[in-house]
Structures are given as C-alpha cells and as structure tokens.
Amino acid sequence: MTNPTENKIYLPSQEVIDQANIKEYEELYKFSIENREQFWANQADYLSWYKKWDKVLDDSNPPFYKWFPGAQTNIVHNAIDRHQHTEVRNKLALIWEGEPGDVRSFSYHALNREVCQFANILKSMGVKRADVVTIYMPQIPEQIFAMLACAKIGAIHSVVYGGFSHEALADRINDANSRVVITADGGYRRGKVVEMKSVVNKAMELSPTMEICITVKRTNVDVYMENGRDYWYHDLVALPIAASKCDTEVMEADDTLFLLYTSGSTGRPKAMIHTHAGYSVYTSTTHRMVFDIKPDDRYWCAADPGWITGHSYIVYGPLMNGATIIMYEGAPTYPYPDRWWKMVERYGINILYTSPTAIRGLMRFGDSWPNRNDLSSLRLLGSVGEPINPEAWRWYHEVIGNSKCPIMDTWWQTETGGFMITPLPVTPLKPGSGTKAFFGNEIAVVDDDGKEVGANEEGTLVIKSPWPGMTAGIFKDPERYLDIYWSKYKKQGWYLTGDSAKRDEDGYFWIIGRTDDVIKVSGYRLGSAEIESVMISHPAIAESAAVALPHPIKGNCIHIFAILRNGYEASLEMEHDLINHVVTHMGPIAKPEAITIVDQLPKTRSGKIMRRVLKARALGLPEGDLSTLEE
C-alpha cells in the first residue's frame, strides 16, 4: 500500500453532505465516548419497547456486560409489529428475485402475515421459548420468515450456511441440542439445483436430538420424506394451525435471539450468542447512520443470511429501520456477468453492500457489463469481510458508483454483531481503510504489553470499551469465551479481535488480517483446525497443516501441507482424492486450492506446527525467526 496514487483522499461531494443524516463525525464521536450510556440511550429511543431499561449498561461483571437490563422487547416487535401502525405497513419490505428470474415481493403487512403463519406452525410443532431451531436454506424469502418466526415466539435460531456439508450441519445441530430443522428441497445456483433436504436427511442420521424437519418446496427435486418426521411447509401452511395472527413474545433484554457458529483458532466452531435488546439497538443504529437510510431507499446487501452480515444487515437492521430490502437467490454471473447490474437497474437500488471477493470476481469481466446498465440510482456502496485492495476499491467507486458513491468499508466480526470501524457517508475516504471507530467505541492498535504502537506500525487490534452489539459469549462455554477474547489483555479488560492492523497519521485504521489460524476464503471464515481434522479422517493422512495463501479473487485460498501414512504414495490422483474428501466432509466453501505432500512439518519444540513458516516457504519469502523451530 505504498503506491502514491493510493494516498489520494476521496472527499464527499456537496450532494452527499447535503443529504447525510449525520453531517459531522468528530463532535458526535467525542460525545459518544464521554457520554457512552447517554449516546446509546438516545439511539435506543428510536426503537419501541414493551418496558424501558432500568439502566443502560450493567458493567458489574466484565466482560459479561449487560445492555439495557430491565428492558423488555422483542426484535420482531421493532422489525415488523410497530410498522403495522404506520405508513410503513404498505411499503415493500422485501423484493426477492430467484435465479431463474421469478420475482416475489412482500409489503410489511404481508411480511407480518408470513411470519405469523410460520410462527404458529413452529408453535404447533411444540417449539417453545429458548428452544434452538436450526435453519439450513437457500436464499429464498422463507429463510427470512423462518428467522423472524423463531425470534417472534422467543425461540433461538441457528442458521447454518448452505455451503456446509451434512457433517458440519450435524455438528452444529448436536452442539445446540436442536430438535427442529427448517430447510428447502433445494435452491438454484448457476442454473442447477443445489440439493438441501438430502443433506439435511444425512445430517439427521447423525443427530440424536433431531425430531422434526420442515421443508419448503423450491425446486421440485425428488426428496425422501419420512412419516412423522418430515413435513412440507406448503402442507402445514394450509392447515388452520397456520393462522395469520400470532402474538410476539415479550423478551427480557438479555434473552438469546440467535446462535451463529463461527470458526476460531482451535477446535470446533463455536456458537456466538446475540441477545434481543443490545443487538437491536446496535444493528438498527449502525445501519441507519452508516447507510444513511431514507424512507424511499431500496437497499441491497448481497450477502447470504447464513452469515452475520445477513443477520444484521439483510434482516434485522434494515427491517427495524423500515427499509425495502432486496434479496437474490443465485450466482452473480448467471446467466451473464451483469445479473447484479441488471437488478440494480430493474429495482432502482440505492445502496449496495457486498464483499471485496464479489467485486473482484465481477471486475474481471470488464467494464462493459456494468456500463450497459443504468446504475445511476446508486447513492452509497459498502464492502465487508476482508480488506479491499485499492484496485478493486477504485473500480467499485468509478465503474459501479460513477465516482459519486462513497464506499462504506465496514470492519466487524460475528462476535461484534455490527460495524465497529466504518466511515460515514461524509467521511473523507482512503481506498483500503475502514477509516475510524463507530460511535461509542474505543479501538486501538497495541503491542503485546498493551502499549499503543506508533503511526503506521503494525500491532494487535483491540476494542477497549463495551458496545451494545457485542456477543453475550459462547453458547454453553463461558470459559472458552474468556480465554479466546479476554485473556490476552485481561489486566486492561480489552477485547482481542484476532486481527492485526495499522493506524496512519490521520488516525485511520488499516486492517492487515488475522493473526490467528482463522482463514478468510472469499470473506468466509474457516479454521485451520477444522480443515486439519477433516484431513486426518482420511486413511492416507498422518498429519496436516492448513494455511492461507493470497488469491487474486478470493483474497485467500486454502493450501494444505500433509504427511502421508506409510504405504501411501503421493500422486495427482491422491491430491484430487484429498481435495474431494475435504469438500465432502466440510462443504464446497472449504475446497483447498492445493495439497502438497511433504515428509515433515515445521514445528516448535513444544510440537506446535509453525504455519507461518509453511506460508513463507510456499510464497518463497524469508522464513523469519526460526529459533523455536525443530524439524
């Protein structure tokens, strides 16, 4: 990032400033730090509460902070119910486009009806408050209805991304003790049917707790349905039990809204907990301020609801703000590489939020695809998931945003619930930097002792103050939560992000990447340990190490170094077989780019694999400090 043209600062146009909801950052930031609780109370007042809080923040037992204790709410009360009594009722909540070209749209009134019906069905299946319901679906409207239906009746949803294998799904079902799973027969991707119910069937065989599966028909693909266990959604919704009115459960502030599994450094994926009150306030506020939401906006977050981005910024944040959301089922390049740009034109989309991987993937088809569509409705753009390289940033800005749309490069995590470092539309932008901390947050780049590093020096990114969107911890494992996030800077009481970063002379943050063994492939978060444990389950493998190598489109790709057991020999065929093994057992999103068979792996004297050395070797870079190496 030393190319001088990259130091160009992009100032907001007068038009952007004129219409911005928040015109000034520094002063409000200062206020939000000096009066954190007041700031958040002001934001909470944008929402409707069954009962207001006794206190904004209970910090008597850090890091288990409690936000808005004493309050009663339900995120659905704010995302759907309260809109039924205003002009938002007749506004479109969702415009959905299937990959084959079918379109469905729902007003807030219709959304309420769909969610009530789904909620009544779940109730009739015995789903109660605090039960965990697993959702494994393609990107169809029913995925959103299912999430909201769970929240409405006080159940906890656990959405598992559709790109995971049946084993990964079963692991998550079992860890959460989930009794009910909601799925679809399949979905469309690149003109083909991706089967889902058949994956769920295999997962159910591995899940002793699983009793009921509700399947939405999307593709007509043949599926096996078992009597007493499997129900078609369209059959259930035709029954009197699926009434179109359903009361929303009154939830306590810190009641769990959802679990979302995410990968860490070691061990199995962990279920991060998010709760009704704090998460509602944080996602609605960040969405309103950063995307500068206007009543007429059509807003498209082109992520999958299966990830935190989808939870916070497809579903909950936008619906609480009464926005019209766009959802698309399939591949961005189907049938042609201008599918997204056609959608922008067709629906008059004002705000587009996506990932650097998607931008790079579309950029490689050239400017003619976007240029043949009218993208002039776009006002704001967003990026998330990994650092965006300045080249992709400029293409996004110039070609997609016609050099007039500010890009909101939002840094955050599954654990943080919402944006932590992000520009506002009026923030002067530097391509590749998420700019500054969102209101209320004190964020720093520090060394191992917690001392702030100098300008442009690399260090560890930490969050020094609590925020309402923060996770309430890891499901069933508070110790692991303390250990992973709060032990390194225990004395200071800071949250460890797992990222390294720099801060420049203007105080802008530049995220470098993960410092742990988390691998970000196309913005998706995977753990080395998970991939390695799948490798080891192959009969030919004695030991392996998965590392992230740079990739021009995906940002990173997975490269595995493996040692074979005696009696097995390295061959191209063996490599393919191992790649398939990882895909079958973890899912297509974990497909390794390459597997290199080696005789030994570099380890420390205590036996820890030095993945950093493997990475350096693969890239032909200096191997760094090898004093602890014992090969």
User: How far is it, in rounded angstroms, from Cα 112 to Cα 244?
Assistant: 8
Least CB distance to ligand WT7 at residue 124 (A): 35
Give the footprint of ligand WT7 on residues 391-410 (CB under 6 A): 409-410
| Binding region for ligand WT7 (CB under 6 A) out of 119-127, 137-145, 382-390, 542-550 | 382-390
Measured from the CB atom, the residue of 179 and 311 that comes closer to ligand WT7 is: 311
CA torsion sign, 137 to 140 to 146 to 152?
Answer: positive
According to CB under 6 A, which one of 156, 429, 463, 511 is a site residue for ligand WT7?
511
- The answer to whether 520 contacts ligand WT7 (rule: CB under 6 A) is yes
Give the footprint of ligand WT7 on residues 305-364 (CB under 6 A): 308-309
User: How far is it, in rounded angstroms, from Cα 443 to Cα 63?
Assistant: 16
- The answer to whether 201 contacts ligand WT7 (rule: CB under 6 A) is no
Measured from the CB atom, the residue of 348 and 513 that comes closer to ligand WT7 is: 513
Per-residue exposure over 127-157, b if at least 16 CB sit within 10 Å of its own CB, e if not: beeebbbbbbbbbbbbbbbbbbbbbbbbbbb
Angle between helix axes 572-586 and 528-536 (nearest 10 degrees) is 120
Residue 293: name the closest of 328, 251, 262, 322 by CA.
322
Per-residue exposure over 239-270, b if at least 16 CB sit within 10 Å of its own CB, e if not: eeebeeebebbebbbbbbbbbbbbbbeeebbb
Least CB distance to ligand WT7 at residue 603 (A): 26
- The answer to whether 152 contacts ligand WT7 (rule: CB under 6 A) is no
Least CB distance to ligand WT7 at residue 517 (A): 12
Measured from the CB atom, the residue of 440 and 498 that comes closer to ligand WT7 is: 498
What would the 3-class secondary structure string for 403-446 be?
CCCCEEEEECCHHHCCCCECCCCCCCECCCCCECECCCCCEEEE
Whole-angstrom CA distances from 122 to 70, 151, 160, 256 are 28, 11, 18, 18
Least CB distance to ligand WT7 at residue 396 (A): 13
User: How far is it, in rounded angstroms, from Cα 468 to Cα 453?
Assistant: 27
Least CB distance to ligand WT7 at residue 495 (A): 12
Give the footprint of ligand WT7 on residues 47-76 (CB under 6 A): none
Site string for ligand WT7, 411-450 (x = CB under 6 A): xxxx-------------------x----------------
| Binding region for ligand WT7 (CB under 6 A) out of 159-167, 287-295, 378-386, 485-493 | 378-386
According to CB under 6 A, which one of 499, 517, 530, 532 is a site residue for ligand WT7?
499
Residue 139, φ and ψ in degrees, nearest 5: -80, 80
**What DSSP string runs through 84-116?**
GGSGGGGSEEEEEE-TTS-EEEEEHHHHHHHHH
Least CB distance to ligand WT7 at residue 408 (A): 9
Residue 151: name the closest of 165, 169, 167, 131 by CA.
131
Give the footprint of ligand WT7 on residues 248-277 (CB under 6 A): 262
According to CB under 6 A, which one of 417, 440, 498, 592 is a site residue for ligand WT7?
498
Kind of pairing, strands 156-159 and 92-97? unpaired
Per rule CB under 6 A, count of chain residues that contact ligand WT7: 21
According to CB under 6 A, which one of 99, 185, 386, 517 is a site residue for ligand WT7?
386
According to CB under 6 A, which one of 514, 538, 585, 611 is a site residue for ligand WT7?
514
Q: What is the contact surface with ligand WT7 in residues (CB under 6 A)?
A: 262, 308-309, 384-387, 409-414, 434, 497-499, 511, 514, 520, 525
